[in-house]
Amino acid sequence: MGFLDGAELHARLVKLEVPDPPLDAAEFKPGRWSKRKVGAERWVRPSLVVEVAFGEWTPDKRIRHAVFRGIRTDKPAKMIIRERVKNPAASALAPVATESKAAQTISKVKITHPDRVIDPTTGLRKIDLVRYYESVAEWMLPHLKDRPASLVRAPNGITGQLFFQKHPESKMPGLKELDPALWPGHEALLAVNSANALIAAAQMNVVEFHTWNSKVARIDQPDRFVLDLDPGEGVTWPMLQEAAQLTRVMLAELGLECWLKTSGGKGLHIVVPITPKRDYTEVKAFSQSVVKHMARVIPSRFVSVMGGKNRVGRIFIDYLRNGHGQTTACAFSARSRPGLGVSMPVGWEQLKELKGGAQWTIATAREYLSFQQEDPWREFWRKRQSVDSAIKILAGT
């Protein structure tokens, strides 16, 4: 195999540099969260053969997450063809191995049993899940950082026994053990504050990441509440879309702006950022009042009581996760269900286009994100709103 060394490579590329790109500008426009700035590229005449490692082929026949390995001097361009895989769905996220098949290393985390199938319905493997979390870490961490987290682990895949973990274990490096004083009378909580911690958790068979509604700094004062639209038997997807829009209108009448994400399962999550002033008891009581009002005003669509018999053909708006110590599936988290759907933040203008709560999976989410130009939740982080006025308005209805 003929690779050029660094000095030779630089010399060849300098000679081939051209002022204008050989591609249309739209072909290399930075994606939604790309760190690359427009105009930062340097172009060369397309006359060399190079070797790259990459994550996947896109539907429009491009490669995603390419890593340059070197220029090949031993092969003419006419010999280069696209390699095929036997099972594209199962191999979509397969990385180039840095060790043997028995173990791979990703971001300094050793991944054991990378080819273990964790979802028999799709053939998706442990390494596919790890690579997914590596690829979305930059976007997911703002939703995870400095919040107590609970983890759903699936040592034998999602069809085996699942474990819910709320406290640190020595076997999971990178996870932060929080001060036990944050929740007196309980074991220390944990937080996932870095990309390595996220990958290390996936290595320990964590599929789902759930977070509290408060941050460590103000542990008893939530800075958001969540309304989970949980469809009962007989509820169609268009009915759920309508329910989400009605809930948004209700919150707007109370002076509250909200954001939308898919649940990764059957439903939708509506997230409302609030100023962290009131405690969990007050915030949960308020969210319950919102749900009861919706069920009272539109009883044909909504129900405020749990139980399958109560919500046949109707939607239970789950407010219970707004209590102290309760959690919600984090944005970008995979779900331990067939298909490995993910909880995807979306804009309200996308609601009518959604096909289901698990529209994106670990095999398709990264591709979708790479083509988005704007973050639909960009204003979420800057929003400051209190529930004080909303409580008074609701009390007068």
Which pLDDT score, from 0 to 100, does residue 51 have?
72
Which pLDDT score, from 0 to 100, does residue 194 have?
94
Specify which residues 98 forms β-bridges with. none
The answer to whether 324 touches 145, Cβ cutoff 8 Å, is: no
Stretch among 59-63, 137-141, 294-298 having the lowest mean pLDDT: 59-63
Which pLDDT score, from 0 to 100, does residue 297 have?
95
Stretch among 54-68, 157-171, 307-321 having the lowest mean pLDDT: 54-68
The answer, yes or no, to whether residue 90 has pLDDT greater than 50, is no
**Whole-angstrom distance, CA of residue 129 vs CA of residue 173:** 18
Tokens coding 193: 């504050």
Which pLDDT score, from 0 to 100, does residue 91 have?
36
pLDDT band at 67 (very low <50, low <70, confident <90, very high): low
Which pLDDT score, from 0 to 100, does residue 98 have?
39
The answer, yes or no, to whether residue 71 has pLDDT greater than 60, is yes
Which pLDDT score, from 0 to 100, does residue 53 have?
67
Which pLDDT score, from 0 to 100, does residue 179 have?
95
Which pLDDT score, from 0 to 100, does residue 97 have?
37
pLDDT band at 87 (very low <50, low <70, confident <90, very high): very low
pTM attached to this predicted model: 0.76
The per-residue pLDDT for range 175-190, each reduced to its tens digit, is 999 999 999 999 999 9
Kindly state the average pLDDT of the residues 272-279. Answer: 97
Tell me how far CA of residue 289 lies from CA of 12, 127, 222, in angstroms. 69, 44, 17
Higher pLDDT, 37 or 157: 157
The answer, yes or no, to whether residue 116 has pLDDT greater than 70, is yes
Higher pLDDT, 247 or 373: 247
Stretch among 60-69, 292-301, 355-364 having the lowest mean pLDDT: 60-69
Coil, helix or strand at residue 68: strand
**Whole-angstrom distance, CA of residue 120 vs CA of residue 376:** 33
The dihedral over CA atoms of 118, 124, 129, 131, expressed in degrees to the nearest 10, equals 150
The answer, yes or no, to whether residue 318 has pLDDT greater than 60, is yes
pLDDT band at 167 (very low <50, low <70, confident <90, very high): confident
Cα torsion angle, 320, 336, 107, 128, sign: negative
Mean pLDDT score of the chain:
85
Tokens coding 307: 């139980």
The answer, yes or no, to whether residue 348 has pLDDT greater than 90, is yes
Which pLDDT score, from 0 to 100, does residue 20 have?
77
- Percent with pLDDT over 70 in the chain: 79
Tell me how far CA of residue 255 lies from CA of 4, 258, 397, in angstroms. 63, 10, 14
The per-residue pLDDT for range 213-239, each reduced to its tens digit, is 999 999 999 999 999 999 999 999 999
Stretch among 108-112, 239-243, 267-271 having the lowest mean pLDDT: 108-112
Kindly state the average pLDDT of the residues 135-149. Answer: 95
Say which residues have a Cβ less than 8 Å from residue 39's Cβ, sequence separation at least 6: none
**Whole-angstrom distance, CA of residue 203 vs CA of residue 199:** 6
Higher pLDDT, 6 or 117: 117
The answer, yes or no, to whether residue 286 has pLDDT greater than 80, is yes
Establish how many alpha carbons lie within 13 A of residue 280's alpha carbon, considering only the half-sphere containing its beta carbon.
Answer: 16
